[in-house]
């Protein structure tokens, strides 16, 4: 499968799990729309020479460009020979940040997808040790289990 097709498949998975606009005071990402934080959107708009605006008004073209350039490419998903790893790493980059992808790839020695998932689950449990983050654990784990099913059953 071509990398563009894999990206589209991964993006579809992500967008099915990322809701609309949310500004939960306990979410460390702050105001977010379709998985893109206000800070990321501001950086993106400035990089294009445009004025910042509320993330509520992000359009589909901007969203796709941000996901492709700031998550897919920065996580190295376009260079991965295993489509499953590309999809999993992209979702991780969106949900947890690009630096976590590298951390989990190291933990799984770049070749054991089960170990990658285990590292991700452990990190979520670590996050949930902070009381304000505990309420997110169930959703994080459900997303991870759905991702596991997605890459192994599709």
Tell me the domain boundaries of the chain.
Answer: 3-153
Task: Indicate whether 154 pLDDT > 90.
Answer: no
What's the pLDDT tens digit per position in 8-58? Answer: 999 999 999 998 999 999 998 899 999 999 999 999 999 999 999 999 999
CA distance 77 to 81: 9
What's the pLDDT tens digit per position in 75-119? Answer: 999 999 999 999 999 999 999 999 999 999 999 999 999 999 999
Report the pLDDT value the prediction gives residue 2, as an integer from 0 to 100: 66
Output the pTM of the full model. Answer: 0.95
Report the pLDDT value the prediction gives residue 1, as an integer from 0 to 100: 58
Kindly report the CATH number that applies to the domain delimited by 3-153.
1.20.141
């Amino acid at each position: 499968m071509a990398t563009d097709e894999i990206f589209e498949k991964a993006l579809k998975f992500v967008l099915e799990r990322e809701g609309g606009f949310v500004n939960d005071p306990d979410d460390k990402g702050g105001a977010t729309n379709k998985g893109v934080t206000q800070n990321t959107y501001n950086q993106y708009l400035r990089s294009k020479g445009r004025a910042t605006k509320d993330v509520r008004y992000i359009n589909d073209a901007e969203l796709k460009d941000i996901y492709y350039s700031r998550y897919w490419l920065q996580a190295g998903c376009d260079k991965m020979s295993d489509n499953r790893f590309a999809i999993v790493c992209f979702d991780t980059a969106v949900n947890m940040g690009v630096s976590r992808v590298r951390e989990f790839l190291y933990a799984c020695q770049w070749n054991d997808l089960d170990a990658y998932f285990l590292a991700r689950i452990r990190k979520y449990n670590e996050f949930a040790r902070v009381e304000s983050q505990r309420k997110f654990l169930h959703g994080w784990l459900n997303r991870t289990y759905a991702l596991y099913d997605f890459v192994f059953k599709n």
